[in-house]
Chains A and B, each alone.
Chain A
Amino acid sequence: MSTNNLAETTAIETVAGVGTVDLAKSTVRDLNQALHDQHDEMNIQEWEVLNPKGHHNIAVGIDQKLKIDIRGPAGYYCAGMNKEAEVTIHGHTGQGVAENMMSGLVRVKGNASSAAAATAHGGLLVIEGDAGSRCGISMKGVDILVKGSVGHMSCFMGQAGVLAVCGDAGEALGDSLYEAHIYVKGSVKSLGADCIEKEMRAEHIEELTELFERAGVTDQDPRDFTRYGSARQLYTFKVDNAGAY
């Protein structure tokens, strides 16, 4: 067992090149600072976080190609604003997982609470369980794959990117949608304002196939999904549409 310089103050250990932070002994501040310090040093590329126990703001603001495994449930904003890193949460996660992600991969082995990948600009979020309400709210280019179901108001004001749901979707899916693409395999309780069902063409089959490959999903057939998108009727304000606002 070796110990890096940070260990003197933050109880961070490195074992076989993997940095380990035990949040029963260290703080989230210690963890994030150690991860941010890799921006300059890049001497530990793989990390393991023990005893997350629902702490908020774990592994936020990472901007390097780190691989981070969080061994247990995480609280709010886990992997928020992620760039390039591959973060796996081996448990459930709280509100706003991968919010405003720019790139990289975040995988949730359990369920995710509301506002998953809110406003995220890029990267891929995979939720192996269910996602709560407003999944992909104001998404700006991220791709999201949910193997379970999503709650109400998902993809609200979605601007760009893909939301694929292998289960069902709640009320008001895609409300006030811009150009995000939505695919749902199961039922949709209701569509939001300006969101309509659209034809599933070859390029959409291809888009979903490619997404499944990136997400490591092998048990889904893109042809089983229905596509939803913007009717683009609310893009410019028309008094005739006042009832839709």
Chain B
Amino acid sequence: MSEKRKYMTEPRESATFDRSTMSEIRRAADTGIYDIRGAGAKRKLPHFDDLLFLGASMSRYPLEGYREKCNTSVTLGNRFAKNPIELEIPVTIAGMSFGALSAYAKEALGRGASAVGTSTTTGDGGMTPEERGQSTKLVYQYLPSRYGMNPDDLRKADAIEVVLGQGAKPGGGGMLLGQKITDRVAQMRTLPKGVDQRSACRHPDWTGPDDLEIKIKELREITDWQVPIYIKVGATRTYYDVKLAVKAGADVIVVDGMQGGTAATQDVFIEHVGIPTMAAIPQAVQALQEMGMHRKVQLIVSGGIRNGADVAKCMALGADAVAIGTAAMVALGDNDPKWEEEYQKLGSTAGSYDDWHEGRDPAGISTQDPELMKRFDPIEGGRRLANYLRVLTLEAQTLARACGKNDLRNLEPEDLVALTVESAAMARVPLAGTSWIPGQQPF
């Protein structure tokens, strides 16, 4: 070793200008355009891993793990609808469009969800026969673009979800780039083939909650008050948004945190707009409780749900159900290491691939390429999703029984503690080993 090298320090990477940041600067300088990608926020955020359950011991009485019942069913939409949705498990499939996903992938979501008695959700671009045919409970999204929107499909739906925003891009519209606007997608959306589709961020025929109340009544009139109407918001000013959604007449409110995924939008949007899912739930629950509507207007939470612990923690914080999107795609086979060689060719790696908008998904899920689509078997995909949903449910039940609860919805904030000060403040549960809830009471 030379004398010079002997006294050199190891190269030190900047925490501010890390490799990812510098590569983005180079990419921006090369192209002059912002980065577009799919998925949700990738930055480290306060999340459900920062919460722990207080299992029963002397002061609480646990339920027998394998013998005593723990109910998982939930009824959604019994505020006004004649036919509320009855779910066997409180885990639903979030809206993902045909266009963003292949028809086979949508079919698989329907197969998997139906096998375990839960619902799927359409997405921008309308309802496909494959999806309706395989989904015993299908929620029809009513989006600003109204692509493929028609009253016949509206009446075929088991519920209607009025989408005001999503967690990945609150305040932004959808995006589907030209590579995925095939003949069928173009026909369904009344667009020229191959254009970069930019959905509107606001609904075209109403502004504000007073208008929305009238719009919701229109949807109820058209469907003869048969089906529940959800309102979906991206998590930002959740307390106020939930209050206004209740006032506007929602049966169910869906709150999507910033970890929630998207098919495509600007990276800067995904990483810098919205609040974490965990921070949104207490705001939503507070709003519902203050209006005397908690459990009367059901709350579905989405954004970063990965396992049964996340499900149980959402429900302990006051949600009635959760929705999964990214995790469902992974269960189907997206980002599977078996496609590593091809992910590498796309400049990515299994587990990090998020260029879903490019339509070159090696797993054949987020694509409209006929050859890539053939790689994906909707029957096998549906089986995998059903398995995954069963595991989420079993895990949530395990934790609920340990807390002495015979119904997942009996979980409560008192069953939780937080590992960090910020998660305690956001989730409004005590810091572990203390009775301190930052922001709620002095230390």
Residues of A participating in the B interface, judged by any CB pair closer than 8 Å? 28-29, 32-33, 36, 56-57, 60-61, 63, 75-77, 80-81, 83, 95-96, 99-100, 102, 114-115, 118-119, 121, 134, 137-138, 140-141, 156-157, 159-160, 176, 178-179, 235-237, 239, 242
Contacts and interface: CB of A to CB of B under 8 A. Distances in A.
8 contacts: A36-B224, A60-B218, A76-B211, A100-B150, A118-B205, A176-B198, A178-B195, A242-B32
- From DSSP, what is the main secondary structure of chain A's interface residues? loop
Given A60-B222, A239-B31, A77 B151 contact: no
B178 interface: yes
B217 interface: yes
Contacts of B146: 100, 118-119, 138, 140
A138 B149 CA distance: 12
Interface in B143-169: 145-146, 149-152, 154-155
Contacts of A235: 178, 192, 194-196
B244 interface: no
Given A60-B221, A237-B196, A239-B31, A159 B190 contact: yes
A95 B206 contact: yes
Given A56-B214, A114-B205, 4 more contacts: A61-B221, A76-B206, A100-B150, A115-B206
B5 to A, nearest CB: 44
Contact of A57 (B150, B152, B221, B224): B221
Given A60-B222, A239-B31, A178 B191 contact: yes
Interface of B: 31-33, 145-146, 149-152, 154-155, 177-178, 190-192, 194-196, 198, 200, 204-206, 211, 214-215, 217-218, 221-225
B129 to A, nearest CB: 18
A108 B177 CA distance: 38
A115 B205 contact: yes
A95 B196 contact: no
B150 A33 contact: no
B119 to A, nearest CB: 23
B178 A236 contact: yes
For A81, A178, A239, the residue with the greatest tally of chain B CB atoms inside 10 Å of its CB is A81
Contacts of A63: 151-152
Contacts of B196: 235-237
Contacts of A99: 204-205
Given A119-B205, A138-B146, A236 B221 contact: no
A57 B218 contact: yes
B222 A96 contact: no
Contacts of A159: 190-191
B151 A57 contact: no
Contacts of B145: 138
A236 B193 CA distance: 11
Nearest to A28: B221
Contacts of A100: 146, 149-151
Contacts of B215: 76-77
Contacts of A137: 204-205
Given A56-B214, A138-B145, A236-B196, A115 B191 contact: no
A96 B205 CA distance: 6
A75 B221 CA distance: 14
Contacts of B152: 63
B205 A236 contact: no
B155 to A, nearest CB: 8
Contacts of A60: 218, 221-222
Contacts of A114: 205
Nearest to A78: B218
Contact of A76 (B192, B214, B223): B214
Contacts of A237: 33, 177, 196
For A100, A118, A156, the residue with the greatest tally of chain B CB atoms inside 10 Å of its CB is A100
A115 B204 contact: yes
Contacts of B150: 81, 100, 102, 121
A115 B207 CA distance: 11
Nearest to A36: B224
For B190, B198, B200, B224, the residue with the greatest tally of chain A CB atoms inside 10 Å of its CB is B190
